Amino acid sequence: MILKALRKNGILTVNYLEDGLLQTCKGYLYNLNLFEQTLFLKDEHQKTFSIRLSRIKGIY
């Protein structure tokens, strides 16, 4: 399910857990490192976010 959502071009909304709280991040797919299992997003202000794949609850 997650990999299907990564195929679309455009802004992604990622819901993930951080410190036990549900967080939301919006941005463009910057990099996907399957070896480290990390997803990198870049928002409209060019700030980069790294999210572990195991913490992701949904991508829209």
pLDDT at residue 49, rounded to an integer:
92
Domain that holds residue 50: 2-59
- CATH number of the domain within which 14 lies: 2.30.30.520
Give the pTM. 0.82
Question: 60: which 2 tokens?
Answer: 């829209």
Residue 51: is it exposed, middle or buried by C-beta count within 10 angstroms (0-12/13-18/19+)?
A: buried
**Rounded to an integer, what distance in angstroms lies between the CA atom of residue 43 and that of residue 29?**
9
pLDDT band at 41, cuts 50/70/90? very high
The string of pLDDT tens digits covering residues 6-30 is 777 789 999 999 999 999 999 999 9
Q: Are 41 and 25 in contact (CB under 8 A)?
A: yes
**Domains contained in the chain, number:** 1
20, 21, 45 from 5: Cα distances, Å: 24, 22, 22
